[in-house]
Amino acid sequence: MSAIADTGIVAVPEVAAARRPTGRLMRTALGLWRTRIGLMLVGALVAIAVFGRFFAPHSPTAFVGQPNTQPANLLFGTDHIGQDVWSRFLWGGAQLLAVSAIATILGLVLGVIVGLLSAYSRNWLDDVLMRAMDVILALPQIMLALVAVTTLGATSWLIVLAVGLTTMPRVARVTRAAAQPVVERDFVAAAEALGVARWRILFGEILPNILSPLMVEASLRLTYSIAIIASLAFLGFSTDPNGANWGTMIQENQLALVSQPWGVVLPVVAITLLTIGTSLVGDGVARAAIGIDRGRAAE
């Protein structure tokens, strides 16, 4: 029993000291205008994607007028087969956001596990894992997704898997680089000496110390996942070819750009603002982390 009490004495102050900077990081990041603008953009587009459908005047698949025209009662006219562009726009963000978010989370979880294992093991396992990551990095992300949908078909879970698995090595590299110095610190050796379970050392002791680079990486990866999944839909690979989806809308209406630009312009604006928003948030967090590090170096 006394050993457990000792664990508390040795490990708790270190972990507590490690967690505090994360709150400080968020406060510092929120003090930067770019983080606030980014959060507003992301918030607005998530709101449109989630709640927009309740304000849609028509069904996203209803025929409401002559194709590619601008009837007076429709805000943004009709699309290539006479559906309401505005309604399809309000419906079209949910799937893109959900698939991107799940794929990013999958990639982050796998990447963090691989990166922590690599940094902690410091032996052949590190080499094997990192070489395996190099193989995935040898292919452009979008190409791997295209190869996967060739035979297996563009189902949501396959796109999530393809984007998640190609996100993994990029996250693993960042995690490994950030965790390597932490692994050498005294509190890790102390936890090892006390016989703390290996997985608790990885996720309880090391992970809290590398959260700030991981948060920067997470927003960067989310930006890229949105880009790839929207690109796949634009290339014609999405789960439901007739469903409203920003990427698919752009593809369908591209040929009618001259006569009816809204079917392309609305989703293009949405994806532009969404990706700019997520990367502004990431840049804000990164700047806050650098600022805190500089301040600490000066202390």
Partner 1 sequence: MATAPSGSPSGDLLVPAGPPVAARPRRALIPQFGGIWGFVIRRILLGLLVLFIVSIVVFAATQALGDPARAILGRQATPESLKALRDQLNLDRSVFSQYWSWLTGLLHGDAGVSYAAQIPVSDLIDERIVNSAFLVFCSAIISLPLAIAIGAYAALRRDKLFDSASSLITLLFAAMPEFVIGLWLVVIFATTVFPGTLPSITQIPPGGRPWDDMTAMILPTATLVLTVTPYVARIMRASMIDVLESDYVEMARLKGLSERTVLIRHALPNAAGPAFQVIAINLAYLAGGVIVVEYIFNYPGIGSALVDAVNNHDIPVVQALAMLIAAVYVGVNLLADIGTILVTPRLRTRL
Contact residues toward partner 1 (CB under 8 A) are: 13-14, 17-18, 21, 34, 134-135, 138-144, 146-153, 180-182, 184-187, 209, 223, 226-228, 230-231, 234-237, 250, 254, 257-258, 261, 264-265, 268, 271-272, 275-276, 278-280, 283, 296, 299
Q: Could you give the C-alpha distances from 19 to 8, 23, 164, 196, in angstroms and in order? A: 16, 7, 27, 19
Q: How far is the CB of 147 from partner 1 (least distance, A)?
A: 5
146 is written with which tokens? Answer: 């295209």
Burial of 68 (0-12, 13-18, 19+ CB in 10 A): buried
**CA angle, 47 as apex, 43 and 49 as ends, to 5°?**
120
Q: How far is the CB of 128 from partner 1 (least distance, A)?
A: 12
Which residue, 81 or 143, has its beta carbon nearer to partner 1? 143
Tokens 């050392």 belong to 201
Which residue, 56 or 291, has its beta carbon nearer to partner 1? 291
Q: Specify the DSSP class assigned to residue 78.
A: B
The rounded distance, in Å, linking the Cα atoms of 45 and 52 is 9
Q: How far is the CB of 84 from partner 1 (least distance, A)?
A: 20
Q: How far is the CB of 220 from partner 1 (least distance, A)?
A: 9
Which residue, 58 or 246, has its beta carbon nearer to partner 1? 246
Residues ≥6 apart with Cβ < 8 Å to 180: 119
Which residue, 120 or 234, has its beta carbon nearer to partner 1? 234
Q: Distance from CA of residue 202 to its chain's centroid?
A: 23
Q: How far is the CB of 162 from partner 1 (least distance, A)?
A: 9
The rounded distance, in Å, linking the Cα atoms of 198 and 120 is 9
Instruction: Count Cα neighbours of 141 within 13 Å in the Cβ-side half-sphere.
Output: 25
Q: How far is the CB of 261 from partner 1 (least distance, A)?
A: 5
Which residue, 71 or 295, has its beta carbon nearer to partner 1? 295
- Residue 97: name the closest of 295, 271, 291, 255 by CA: 271
Which residue, 59 or 180, has its beta carbon nearer to partner 1? 180
- Residue 18: name the closest of 178, 174, 232, 142 by CA: 178
Which residue, 56 or 273, has its beta carbon nearer to partner 1? 273
Q: What sign does the dihedral 65-67-71-73 (CA atoms) show?
A: positive
Q: How far is the CB of 47 from partner 1 (least distance, A)?
A: 20
